[in-house]
Amino acid sequence: MNATLGRDVFFSFFMFTADLRPQDTRYTGVLIDHLKALTDMGYDGFDVHIAAQPAGVDHKLEVDCYSGLKTAFERAGLGEAKFTTNVGTTRTFDPTSPYEEQRGQALSYLKSRVDITRVLGGDSIMSGPFIYPYGVFPVTDTDEPIWSDALQDWMRPRYDAARSVFEELVEYAEAREVKLAVEPVKSWETPPPNMVSEVLDFLEGLEHAQGGVTIDTAQVVMESQGPSVLKENIARAVGQHRLYYVHISAPDRGAVKDSWIPWDVISNEIEPVYRGPYLIEVFNAIPPFDSSMRMARRRFWRPGEDDPVPGRDSAYDVARAALEELRQRTA
């Protein structure tokens, strides 16, 4: 636990990659170097993205690969490192699909991600946009995009279809001591749920009492109903014991230091009532983020992966400055 903050502080591996490539032993060595450097800085744990594989991949083999990756971390002296995971659903693995068979595939996929989270992090958190498929924008039969009221109406039966999947998934995760924290993501990136209130509405519609929400500072700045409603939603999530994860992220998803983060919300609304981990989340200008997020800013060079760039911040510089900023802002 971070002694200054009295809670765990994690760092997102979106700075380095969107795919851990657990079968690539050479790349495992690169990951280990990053983990050791960030641990030495003072980070307690790490959030890692579990990349989706083609539909025909055996999920058990995926879980076994991540089990091997965890063993490699332990052999490198990182047995105490903590991990949370970032998971998104896809066009193939769609729990909101109107087709029962496809919903079944999505449930198997999501259960495997719970298993991977358990393998990597033990009693941990699986977070991300895993209700509606990330970035899959609906269109009409004539390929016209669906927006606004029509999109909200279109989502209603999709939420209804997903409920049975999530009823079973939440029960499965609870039995494995994994918390499911759905993250609302801004509307230019993906269809709903885009707001904290939409995630809470969905979770409240489930018969199972478990299941939570991630609050990401970047998302609530770019896609919210305003500061007063955000405060109400934080209180609503806390009152229902659903505030599982808090991400500290700049609106441009870049460096945290001296960025437009609503620190007053962190200090006044979240810090007094939330005891879970904070995640420093920086998306580096690397594939696939550079194109999917239309990044114009320069890349933070990654030690051990990129050639050093004189006069430009490295990924480690940004990580170190972010941790110090968080300590100062929440002191």
The DSSP secondary structure of 267-309, one letter per residue, reads IIIITTT--S-EEE----S-TTHHHHTT--SPPPB-TTTS---
Q: Tell me the angle at which helices 148-175 and 196-204 cross, rounded to the nearest 10 degrees.
A: 60
The reported pLDDT for the residue numbered 224 is 76
Structure tokens at 271: 């810090």
Q: Specify the DSSP class assigned to residue 2.
A: B
Per-residue tens of pLDDT for the chain, all 331 residues: 887 778 999 999 999 999 999 999 999 999 999 999 999 999 999 999 999 998 889 999 999 999 999 999 999 999 999 999 999 999 999 999 999 999 999 999 999 999 999 999 999 999 999 999 999 999 999 999 999 999 999 999 999 999 999 999 999 999 999 999 999 999 999 999 999 999 999 999 998 888 999 999 999 999 878 899 999 999 999 999 999 999 999 999 999 999 999 999 999 999 999 999 999 999 999 999 999 889 999 999 999 999 999 999 999 999 999 999 999 998 8
- Compute the distance between CA of residue 100 and CA of residue 103 in angstroms, rounded to an integer: 5
Question: Vertex 116, ends 21 and 241: CA angle to 5°?
Answer: 130
pTM for the model: 0.97
Phi, psi of 245 (to 5 degrees): -155, 145
